[in-house]
Amino acid sequence: LTAAGAHRRHTDAAAATLGGLDHVICTAGILRIGSVADGDGADIAEVIDVNVTGTLHVARAAHPHLCRTGGSFTAFASSSFTVGRPRYVAYSASKAGGDLQVLAWHRTFGLDAVITRGSNTFGPRQYPEKLIPLFVTNALDGLQLPVYGDGMQVRDWLYVDDHCEGI
């Protein structure tokens, strides 16, 4: 397939799943960013493909359907790393690229869209190597709790159900 053909196939597949929905929440995103930074996770091209191009496919598929139903589109998995004092790394750039795709579809084609930028979200079924599950399991197992950098970093956390309720 040509690149354009592959993109159309992905968009068509996304459109086929919309059915009678009146609201689409896009959670396109590579979640294992720590592994990406360490070089043993997803390749940066995969991160960009999911975070930017994946969001494009969902927005493009949702647009005609939501125009017919009067529904709305929410880009749920945007990152707090794209606002305030963003970390200028490939991951942040890819999430900002996804945001810009949604904004472009809103401004160019009138897609009713909202972008949420929740802080670090945690909850059930999170990858076990992520901070909160790792600290909990290490503490329960009597293992040492890891300290990252100088230990002075501050992060905000948002429980997944609270984020969903806000949407």
- The 10s digit of each residue's pLDDT in 44-88 is 778 888 888 888 888 888 888 777 777 777 665 566 565 655 566
Q: Per-residue pLDDT tens for 10-32?
A: 777 777 777 667 777 777 676 55
* pLDDT tens, position by position, 114-145: 888 777 788 998 888 888 999 999 999 999 99
pTM for this prediction:
0.69
CB within 8 Å of 15: residues ≥ 6 apart: 61, 62, 64, 65
**One-character DSSP codes across 44-82:** HHHHHIIIIIIHHHHHHHHHHHHHHHT-EEEETT--GGG
Closest CA to 110 of 50, 49, 62: 62
